[in-house]
Homo-oligomer: A and B are copies of this chain.
Amino acid sequence: MTSARSITRVLANKYSPSGAPSLDNFKVMSAPAPTKDSLKENQVLVRSLYLSVDPYQRGRLIGTTNSYVPRYELNKPISNHGVAVVEASASADVAEGDIVYIRGAPWETKSVVDVAAVRKLPTGTIDNARDFVTVFGMPSFTAFVGLTTIGKPKAGETILVSSASGAVGQIVVQLAKARGLRVVGVAGSEDKIELVKSIGADTAFNYKTSDNFVASIKQAAPEGIDIYFDNVGGEFLDAALANINTGARIVSCGMISQYNAKSADEAYGLKNTFNILTKTATFQGILVGKYYGTPTEDEFMAEVGKLYKEGKLQYRIDETTGLENAPQAILNLFDGKNFGKSVVKV
């Protein structure tokens, strides 16, 4: 429990490089609350409001060392994108009461962070603070970057989106629809399929009730796939490759079906990569990080902001209350128990 004098922290407890993440990877503990007296120059004391929970954290948790993001340091707080309120500031840039966006926000109810890591959000943001880790958050930006820089969508084309009710997929579905594509969504429950259709997919199917992914995709998109936005990898990706058109783009954003493979040997072997060659297709991994602070971010805020303001963009959120429940919220991502963008209300 957290009182005025104590805080809750979620630390990296141990790695499990050859195994799936579990509650053992985390240590939830309480600690004395940091005070404004301890602030050094250019530091701020913040109280966490919302923290983003995202699949990419898996590698950092289990201790992967060959990824573009470093693993979490043991006995240090887990971190991720978050929104917080400033309680005290030793910087001229932000003041008490400001709402800030934090890249690499520590999973603590209160933290001392460098001002360099925070970005002040518009005044009055308190009512929609959550938007900055949801509809305007990193997964949404990832959707935008992947769709525009790799997918290069053209009106009239067909896009297939897996995990279409997820944090990234929901945005891909709606942006693609707004740009005039035919959208085929895939998800893992009837509730999710209903959501995917309600936000604009032309058709959607439940992969869990399909006994033949290749045939299910062909049925949903007899005209073939021009863009596949892949959040799952493995067998479904292979089936998508069997259905691509000449010049197709495969946006590799996640491979959640493969995250818990213990080794390359256990990974699903893709059989249909021959089509990358014969269909002169492109299969590319997204790196969203390098687009922050570029014109692409402004385009994202403009396009998504406009649709959202006009009520034309919906975003299903799976909110967990209490920082102490954040570890389970991460684990839920890997067996599809979340429904929509996962976020923790601290």
Contacts and interface: CB of A to CB of B under 8 A. Distances in A.
A50 interface: no
Contacts of A277: 233, 252-255, 285-286
Looking at chain A, what size class is its interface with the partner chain? Answer: 35 or more
A199 B63 CA distance: 43
Interface string A248-282: 00001111001000001101111111101111111
B276 A267 contact: no
Given A68-B246, A246-B68, A283-B284, A272 B276 contact: no
A59 interface: yes
A66 B241 CA distance: 13
Copies in the complex: 2
B66 A278 contact: yes
A287 interface: yes
Main SS at interface, chain A: loop
A20 to B, nearest CB: 15
Contact of A287 (B233, B237, B274, B280): B280
Contact of A272 (B254, B267, B281, B287): B267
Contacts of A59: 278
Contact of A265 (B252, B271, B276, B283): B271
Contacts of A100: none
13 contacts: A66-B278, A68-B279, A233-B273, A247-B287, A252-B276, A254-B277, A255-B273, A265-B271, A267-B274, A270-B271, A277-B285, A280-B287, A281-B284
Given A258-B274, A283-B283, 13 more contacts: A59-B278, A233-B273, A233-B274, A237-B273, A252-B276, A254-B277, A255-B277, A264-B271, A267-B271, A267-B274, A270-B270, A280-B284, A280-B286
Interface of A: 59, 64, 66-68, 233, 237, 242, 246-247, 252-255, 258, 264-265, 267-274, 276-287
